[in-house]
Structure 1
Amino acid sequence: MPFVIPAEGGCQCGEIRYRLIGQPIFLGVCHCTDCKQQSGSAFGMSLRMRKADVELLQGAPKQWTARPDNGNPKICVFCGTCGTRLWNGPGPLGNLSVKPGTLDDPSQLAPRYEGWTKRKLPWLRIEGLEASFEEQPRRPASAS
């Protein structure tokens, strides 16, 4: 996935700013209940990044721990002022799942897979995906 770095992003109110300095591991769409509730939409998206490739530039985000459909605890990082979710993690491999809608320019990104399709809304179609998983994917082929 071609991605111009560094790339910057932040929360809706501007209190939190961050910079991505490395290439993403992958970008995916998730249809789990947690991601739909968090995004307030039909699905959520996650841009998997190495923790070392995400630099906090401004502000002090807050966090809480959720228990999504897969049952594993998930650290949710957000702006304490406006509530924008910025990323989740770190996960078991030390990676963060950045919310791509918080990037200043997410237009260069396109998802490669979708997870939790058993919870996908029946009217939703996403073109150009390489793989779909009924539940949580173990690891997309492109993530190795």
Structure 2
Amino acid sequence: MDHSNSASIFPLDGGCACGHVRYRLKARPIVVHCCHCTSCQRETGTAFAINAVIESSLVTRLPSAPPSVPASSTQAVKSAGPPLSSQLEGSVELETINTPSESGRGQRIVRCPACRVAVWSHYWAAGSRARFIRVGTLDEAWKVRPDVHIYTQSRRGFFRLDESIPAFDAFYPNMGEIWSQESLDRWEELMKIDEME
């Protein structure tokens, strides 16, 4: 079953709130999770997290840019302000925060060192080989829809699920039921790569 986003919308650019961290997704993600677990609720301060899982090699860092407000389906990206008073010079080193997770193995959340917005995470299964991009940091996040809802057992009661998207109380038991064959092949190739630092 493939509910994934059309390859024609990629590449897509994104970044943090202040503009210091900018990136580009060069291809369609392997899978897009909408996670309703209580850890994601805590980490994002909202009802769920939407993560686009993609090979780290398909995420390119872009030069910093002025602050902007992401687009919506009816409005283009717009300027935001004011710029942060402490401008970072040169290449921006990302801040990586190790956090606990329900699996007990933790995750590494990567943030802008200036505005502290989380732009992606690394989970234990793939390590640094894959990035779980926070879809809300994309300039046109509205174009990326989830392939699956996970951990709906802790879903907030006010949020109704789109019945055309598969949903699971916990994590889905079989990737082949959710992922396209192309995604399965990409993941298999990714797991053959030595983990990057």
TM-score > 0.5, shorter chain as reference: yes
Equivalent in the alignment of 2:178: 141
Structure 1 residue 128 displacement after superposition: 4.3
Matches within 5 A, 1:31-110: 31-58=36-63, 59-89=92-122, 91-93=124-126, 94-110=129-145
Q: Map Cα deviations across residues 11-34 of structure 1 (whole Å, 9 max, x no partner).
A: 001111111112211112111122
Equivalent in the alignment of 1:116: 151
Equivalent in the alignment of 1:9: 14
Specify which structure has the higher proportion of helix. 2
Q: Map Cα deviations across residues 81-124 of structure 1 (whole Å, 9 max, x no partner).
A: 11111000154232211001101111211112111111111221
Cα distance in 2 for partners of 1:102, 1:20 equals: 11
Give 5+ residue unaligned stretches, structure 2. 64-91, 185-197
Of 15, 26, 40 in structure 2, the residue corresponding to residue 21 of structure 1 is 26
AA matched with 1:95: A
Structure 1 residue 5 displacement after superposition: 2.0
Cα distance in 2 for partners of 1:65, 1:111 equals: 25
AA matched with 1:34: S
Cα distance in 2 for partners of 1:84, 1:126 equals: 26
**Rg larger for:** 2
When residues 42 and 90 of structure 1 are mapped into structure 2, their CA distance, relative to the original with a 3 A threshold, is closer
Equivalenced residue count is 144
Cα distance in 1 for partners of 2:171, 2:115 equals: 29
1:123 match: secondary structure: coil
AA matched with 1:32: C
AA matched with 2:168: F
What is the RMSD of the two structures over their aligned residues, measured on CA atoms?
A: 1.7
Specify which structure has the higher proportion of strand. 1
Cα distance in 2 for partners of 1:71, 1:23 equals: 29
